[in-house]
Structure 1
Amino acid sequence: MSASILPSDPQLTRMPLTRMQGRAELGFVHVDGTDRLARLYQRAPLRVLFPDPPQDEPPHAALVTTSGGLAGGDVLELSVHAGPAAGAVLVGSAAEKVYRSTGPDTCIDVSLTVDAGAALEYLPQETILFDGARLRRTTRIAAAAGARLLAGEILVFGRTARGERLTHGLIREAWEIRQDGRLIWADALHLQDDLRAVLDAAAGFAGAVAAASMVVLAADPIALRDQARALHADYPGRFGAGLINGVLVARWLDGDAQRLRAAFGETWKHVRHAALGRPARLPRLWDI
């Protein structure tokens, strides 16, 4: 007679957990005056949908995590290549949830390649970190001279709508931008174990429940910086924008996640118009 495995049975703790390894690869080309999808590979739970873009927009690709969230040990890999003069917009279909981990890290690797004359937007929605989540995310950008890029991320520290506060876990958020093979900007945020101490510290996150970053490669970064600063003249949260080796880097901290999202989106609309010549609006999915 076989023995049943009850929740308290030590056999249960030794059973390997099922981990997900999702991957998506996209390539865009500009042919006969039109931007087109040239390559698509996808493996669950990372899927890509292609909503019809407005007539004055390049192709839109919507990223979907079909599992409904990520747990410890899960891996997502995204690779996007915008060929010479090609345009594309990548947008998250919904907020990404990273659940509490029993030990392993959740890993997200993003690789964006933008060739000469290309213009790429990478606009995920918020990443919501449940208490105890362990996230390692790396975004690597390889751009040619003359390429234009608008990319960003938003982190929410806990399920704020339920009053949850992020107290422990791991946050590793790293960025790297290379232009024609030369490293021009790199940055990494690393918080581990007692997260509350840093999130509450006046010299840290000062009690913020959300943080965001935006990076821009464009022809006139000084004008874009000044425009971004002017948009936040009356912003009650914390905002800063500066230039490093021609890269515009903008950052937000706020005690209100919805207010940060609104400020981030408003900035995105104006910057995309000034930097990429696209209409000052957000994709329909993101603007819901």
Structure 2
Amino acid sequence: MLETSSSWCGWVKLTYQFCNDRTKPVATYAQAPYKLQRPFYPQTKTICYTTILHTAGGMVGGDQLSQSIQLQPKTHAVITTAAASKVYRSNGLNVTQQAEIDIDQDACLEYLPRETILFEGAQSRQKIQVNLGTNASYLGWDILRFGRSARGEKFLRGEWRSRTEIWQNQQLIWVDSPYLPASPEIWNSPHGLAGYPLVGTLVWVGKPVSEEMIAQVRNLWQEMETTGEAGTTQLTSGLLCRYRGNSRAEVINWFINIWRLIRQWNGQVAPVTPRVWQV
């Protein structure tokens, strides 16, 4: 699909408040193509699940999409998307997505969107900034498919650039700035995609992680039957996991198992996967 002269400038604003032992959205705004589904509580009233829907079905060059998310003290939210995101082939303009996330003292956000599919020739820019208060935590993942591999398409033309910054009490504690200029060399290089169409990144920042905890995450991967590649790194106050392979099921199962493990470390209830993921 080619971009058209009509581009979207969509945005979402979400604010959560903890009141009467319940996390609830107190400010929810969305401008097309975004739409917010009704929040739900599959486990406990203290954890609010929110699903963001992109009604246009895909993104084209010139689209500018933004999210502003605030978790007030002691809130706990899980935010996901209703379907995989698609970035269509562009004739030169970028798709731009940005998210500004403020997580106040003792609050927790699990930001778990479904995968993004970049069609060959797509040009995408993404920036996420997370601002953590004292004792706040953030779990986020990003799963990308380069090319419609089910059709045999590779990502040999186009560009993808992303930047994620995590700050705590006005100090930068982690930054990630991957850049992938599509080409046959990048597609095949062991320092690029190594022929794999799918990559995933999971980051959790909340408290110091021991070597034993890192070993537990690595064991989760080793216990699976896998064809891809994965690695786990200890951060100053958390951990980082990377995946490169062919299987969405493989990476999402690993990431969900890590999510369960992090909940266990924090003494929280085991997570329930959103029903929308089964669609």
Question: Superposed, which structure 2 residues align to 1:127-138 within 5 Å?
Answer: 127-138=116-127
Residue in structure 2 matching 1:177, options 140, 162, 166: 166
Code of the aligned partner of 2:147: G
Residue in structure 2 matching 1:121, options 101, 105, 110: 110
Residue in structure 2 matching 1:108, options 80, 88, 97: 97
| TM, length-normalised to structure 2 | 0.91
**Pairwise CA distance, 1:236:** 3.2
How far, CA to CA, are the matches of 1:86 and 1:268 in structure 2? 18
1:214 aligns with 2:188: no
Choose 147-156 or 228-237, whichever is displaced more: 228-237
2:245 match: 254
Q: Does the CA-based 8 Å contact 1:269-1:282 persist in structure 2?
A: no
1:5 match: none
In structure 2, the residue corresponding to 1:285 is in which secondary structure? helix
Choose 98-107 or 220-229, whichever is displaced more: 220-229
In structure 2, the residue corresponding to 1:269 is in which secondary structure? helix
Code of the aligned partner of 1:77: S
Residue in structure 1 matching 2:136, options 136, 147, 154: 147
- Stretches of structure 1 that go unaligned for 5 or more consecutive residues are 1-15
Choose 268-277 or 30-39, whichever is displaced more: 268-277
1:23-66 residue CA offsets vs partner (Å, 9 max, x unmatched): 00100011121111111111000111124221426111101111
1:40-96 residue CA offsets vs partner (Å, 9 max, x unmatched): 111000111124221426111101111010001101101111100011110111100
1:135-174 residue CA offsets vs partner (Å, 9 max, x unmatched): 1011111001200211111000111222211111011011
- Measured on the aligned residues, the alpha-carbon RMSD in Å equals 1.8
Code of the aligned partner of 2:220: L
1:272 aligns with 2:263: yes
1:70 match: 59
Residue in structure 2 matching 1:45, options 33, 41, 44: 33
CA gap 1:185/1:212 in 2 versus in 1, 3 angstroms: same
Q: Does the CA-based 8 Å contact 2:208-2:238 persist in structure 1?
A: no
Higher Cα radius of gyration: 1
Identity %: 29
CA gap 1:114/1:55 in 2 versus in 1, 3 angstroms: same
| TM, length-normalised to structure 1 | 0.89
Code of the aligned partner of 1:34: R
1:167 aligns with 2:143: no
Q: Does the CA-based 8 Å contact 2:36-2:50 persist in structure 1?
A: yes
**Pairwise CA distance, 1:200:** 1.2
Code of the aligned partner of 2:79: L
How far, CA to CA, are the matches of 1:281 and 1:287 in structure 2? 12
Residue in structure 2 matching 1:186, options 175, 181, 204: 175
Q: Does the CA-based 8 Å contact 2:50-2:79 persist in structure 1?
A: yes
Code of the aligned partner of 1:278: V
1:233 aligns with 2:218: no
**Pairwise CA distance, 1:220:** 4.6
In structure 2, the residue corresponding to 1:168 is in which secondary structure? coil
1:244-275 residue CA offsets vs partner (Å, 9 max, x unmatched): 22131111111333322332333333333434
How far, CA to CA, are the matches of 2:170 and 2:263 in structure 1? 25
How far, CA to CA, are the matches of 1:265 and 1:110 in structure 2? 22
How far, CA to CA, are the matches of 2:165 and 2:254 in structure 1? 24
Choose 81-90 or 48-57, whichever is displaced more: 48-57
Query: What number of residue pairs does the alignment pair up?
Result: 272
- Stretches of structure 2 that go unaligned for 5 or more consecutive residues are none
